[in-house]
Amino acid sequence: MPFFRDLEASVFHRILYRLKTLVVDKGQIILKENDFTNYMIIVQQGELEVMIEMDQAEFVLERLTRGSVINHRNFYFPEELMFMNIRATKRSSLLILSIGSLNEIVNEYQELKLVMMKAIHNIHRGENMYLIDCIPHKGAYGINTNAAKRRQMLKNVVLQVVLHNRYECKKPTLS
């Protein structure tokens, strides 16, 4: 994750020690559409799928494996709703970091506080706000970083169109 990349080892280790383990079974929903979230998830083992429902059908937008990160930007804003569902495709082990745990560490380390303030500022400016807020494992597609970024941008564009259509269908019409 970009904001953890340049931290001192001692700060990074404090964050690692605050991670909680969650084991989920195949088919279990980890996050649901319209859920409020205030935690970040790292896939330690197993596989998850990011999906959206439309017209009584499910569309898988992403498959996440070991090393993938979910909700690493948007968990700063617990008032934001999830726009998709995340489900385990097999028994999986996840690492969870709550915003409360991260805030406790941030208050202890000035270096981390500055990094987090900058990250939150950038998110507020709209640079890093994504509907699909996940980082697939680097080797997931066997493609380079730029291709992965373009792929993620395309998925976000598609999701925006789907959500816009869903919103338009819910609007009252004059009959």
pTM score, two decimals?
Answer: 0.72
pLDDT at 1: 59
The domains of the chain, with CATH numbers, are 2-170 (2.60.120.10)
- 30 neighbors 93 (Cβ within 8 angstroms): no
Contact 51, 85 (CB under 8 A): yes
pLDDT in tens, the chain (175 residues): 556 667 788 888 888 899 999 999 999 999 887 777 788 888 999 999 988 877 777 888 888 888 888 877 666 665 555 677 899 999 999 999 988 888 888 888 877 777 777 777 766 665 544 555 666 665 554 555 677 666 666 676 666 666 667 667 767 767 6
Contact 70, 31 (CB under 8 A): yes
pLDDT value for 128: 47
Q: Say if CB 141 and CB 29 are below 8 A apart.
A: no
Tokens at 43, concatenated = 């896939």
